[in-house]
Amino acid sequence: MNETQFARSVALTLDAGLRQLDSSTSARLSAARHQALARQKRVTVRVGRFAGLAGVFHDSRAHLTPWLAAVVLLLVLATGFYWQAQNSLSDLEDVDSALLSADLPVNAYLDKGFDAWLHGSSASEQ
């Protein structure tokens, strides 16, 4: 006899015994069953509230995965910002090199009249 057949025979036996009970006993059993189910729901809710906390302490590897993903994401972002800053510095170095290798002397760029001339020529181009 397998488990399913055994469960059916137990259910049939219990159903037959249930039909033989008087109404007052059946009403008390029904009330006790409802009371037990109500208690079970409250216990399930209480356990459900604290199940997440227990999981933090007992299964830390499951909670490690989101943190690990966040750390990897932060490393990728930091690397991207560092690379962008290095490229920006490289571009500034190229501009400085081009300015310094031009025909004008460095003092020409420091002259206030040259600065006014730059602003005036950029305004006339627009």
For residues 17 and 76, state if they share a domain.
no
Higher pLDDT, 90 or 98: 90
pLDDT at 114 over 90: no
29 and 1 housed in the same domain = yes
Residues spanned by the domain of 64? 60-126
Do 41 and 93 fall into the same domain? no
One domain for residues 30 and 69: no
- Per-residue pLDDT tens over the stretch 93-108: 877 777 777 666 667 6
CA distance 70 to 65: 9
Give the pLDDT score at 45.
Answer: 58
Task: Give per-residue pLDDT as tens, 27-81.
Answer: 888 888 888 877 777 666 555 555 555 555 555 566 778 888 899 999 999 999 9
Amino acid at 111: D
pTM > 0.75: yes or no: no
Helices 23-58 and 60-100: angle between axes, nearest 10 degrees: 40
CA 4 centroid distance within chain: 43
Do 16 and 32 reside in the same domain of the chain? Answer: yes
Q: How close are the terminal C-alpha atoms of the chain, in Å?
A: 96
Looking at the 3D structure of the chain, how many domains does it have? 2
Categorise residue 83: left if φ over 0, alpha if ψ from -120 to 50, beta otherwise: alpha
Q: Are 53 and 104 contained in the same domain?
A: no
Give dist(CA 43, CA 49) in Å, integer. 10
Residue 53 confidence (pLDDT)? 55
